[in-house]
Amino acid sequence: TELTRAGRHGAVDLPNLDALWMPFTANRDFKAAPRMLVSAQGMHYRSHDGREILDGVAGLWCVNAGHGREEIVEAIARQAREMDYAPPFQMGHPVQFEAADLLAKIAPGDLTKIFFTNSGSESVDTALKIALAYHRARGEGTRTMFIGRERGYHGVGFGGISVGGMVANRKVFRGGMLPNVDHLPHTYSAEHQAFSRGQPEWGAHLADDLERLVQLHDASNIAAVIVEPMAGSTGVLVPPKGYLDKLRAICSKYGILLIFDEVISGYGRLGTPFAAQRFKVTPDIMTTAKAVNNAAVPLGAVFVREGIYDAVVNGAPSGAVEFFHGYTYSGHPLAMAAAVAAQNIYARDGLLTRVAREGLDAYWEEAMHGLRDAPHVKDIRNLGLVAGIELHSRPEAAGKRAFETFLKCYELGVLVRYTGDTIALSPPLIIKRGQIDQIADTLRRALSSVQ
């Protein structure tokens, strides 16, 4: 197998688990029964107990070219030897310009100015700040309000949870949230959309709610609308046909910036470089992270339209810092080296369009919807190389059945993800058809075994 060839096999001893506070994890449950990944190659992980695990989620929607790509490993090692770190403020280093240039080449429309961050959450904060800076530079400083969407996920910064709409991520933290935010309704309706293949026919009209919010708050107060073109972390909600076009039209009509959060949908996941191209709707700002460098080193990238960059940068006096924002690790040399290597792999292997070009999305759709008659299945949603399989919740125990299905799949050798009672899938874009079958078969077995 891939892992054995790479010389990575056998069980490993577990370290002491006490000190680490694990993110988004049931710490006590985990520490009582740890699930540890110790190596990875291609489509597979190796678990601490020496088993091979097929990666059904590309790590966390991010390892799009598969694990352990030699060119990326080499590029990081070379860069670490050459120059470990360089300050990003008032100084530059060549690889960050090279990486930005490669990203600009695959950008939708004229979103060809690239700002580097270290994560999706930071990309979201950065995008919100760019929106404020843009309006202020144009003399419209009253535009300070953001419109997010119910069931949206935009990371865990205070900006991101404020515009986001996942209740558990917000309820404890209200004290630090942005005060000036409203939300569009989410786009999911089981009644009208269950078992849709790809984009649902029903729901474009939900974008009209933006008109209502504009009437309520007045356009002169609204800076930007931020949505995931396809919502991932909330359980894979595919945008209804025509919905994003409507949002675009309303934003343009009122001078409101449209931000697409493409942290999941970017870099080939839907069969085009970005969802913007897939849906033929061009935002003004686009947040990305994860697969930008195949997740080998933390990195986020915000894509910005030329005119926005021009307004902010040309609007400031010469010699002055134009945008008071940035991170110690913006454009970190190792992350940049990984980005250049990953983007070169994507381009050389045609990975950003493979899913559509090779009909993998159609095969995936068939395989996933083939689970319709499996036990507990309430709905199946899919687009590109993404699927959400929603299960009927157990009374008084929401999320429990999906959690147990996730555990069972892991035991059976496939890593899936769960959110609420939805199993979410998004394998690396190098997946073979036989491996798609393996994911579907494993899910069926797991669903048959859970109560």
Please give the residue ranges that form the binding site for ligand PLP (CB under 6 A).
Answer: 119-121, 124, 153-155, 228, 232-233, 261, 263-264, 289
Least distance to ligand PLP from the beta carbon of 335, Å? 12
Residue closer to ligand PLP (CB basis): 161 or 256: 161
Q: What is the DSSP letter of 205?
A: G
Q: Which is nearer to ligand PLP, 154 or 401 (CB)?
A: 154
Q: Which residues pair with 163 in a beta bridge?
A: none
- Read off the amino acid at residue 247: L
Nearer to ligand PLP, 155 or 203 (CB): 155
Q: Which is nearer to ligand PLP, 182 or 228 (CB)?
A: 228
* CB closer to ligand PLP out of 124 and 380: 124
Looking only at Cα atoms, what is the longest distance across the chain?
Answer: 67
> What's the rounded Cα separation, in Å, for the pair 73 and 222?
44
Residue 184 Cβ, how far from ligand PLP at the closest point, in Å? 15
Q: Please, what is the minimum distance in Å from the beta carbon of residue 81 to ligand PLP? A: 27
Report the Cα 116 to chain-centroid distance in Å: 16
Q: Using alpha carbons only, how large is the chain's radius of gyration in Å?
A: 22
Distance CA 370, CA 368 (A): 5
**Rounded to whole angstroms, how far apart are CA atoms 385 and 170?**
29
How far is Cα 105 from Cα 91, in angstroms, rounded to an integer? 24
Class of residue 86 by CB neighbours under 10 A (exposed 0-12, middle 13-18, buried 19+): middle
Spatial separation of the C-alpha atoms in residues 346 and 139, rounded to whole Å: 41
Reading the block at residue 333, the tokens are 């040399």
Residue 177 tokens read as: 């949230």
Residue pair 235/274 in contact by the 8 Å Cβ criterion? no
Of residues 235 and 240, the one with the C-beta less far from ligand PLP = 235
The answer to whether 144 touches 128, Cβ cutoff 8 Å, is no
CA atoms of 295 and 334, how far apart (whole Å) = 12
Nearest C-alpha neighbor of 238 from the set 429, 17, 422, 29: 422
Nearer to ligand PLP among residue 291 and residue 447 (C-beta): 291
Beta-carbon contacts of 134 under 8 Å, excluding residues fewer than 6 positions away, are: 257, 308, 311, 312
**Main-chain phi, psi angles of 217, to 5 degrees:** -100, -20
CB of residue 420 to ligand PLP, shortest distance in Å:
15
CB-nearest residue to ligand PLP: 120
Least CB distance from residue 148 to ligand PLP, whole Å? 11
Residue placing its CB nearer to ligand PLP in the complex, 248 or 290: 290
Question: Which residue lies nearer to ligand PLP by CB, 99 or 450?
Answer: 99
Beta bridge partners of 285: 259, 304
Task: State how far the alpha carbon of 181 is from the alpha carbons of 158, 224, 227, 291, in Å.
Answer: 12, 10, 13, 29
Could you tell me which residues are beta bridge partners of residue 226? 259
Strand 257-261: give its sheet, edge to edge: 113-117, 300-304, 285-288, 257-261, 222-227, 145-149, 181-184
**In sequence order, what DSSP letters do the residues of 158-192 get, joined into one string?**
HHHHHH---HHHHGGGGGGS-SSEEEEPP---HHH
Neighbours of 82 (CB within 10 A): 11
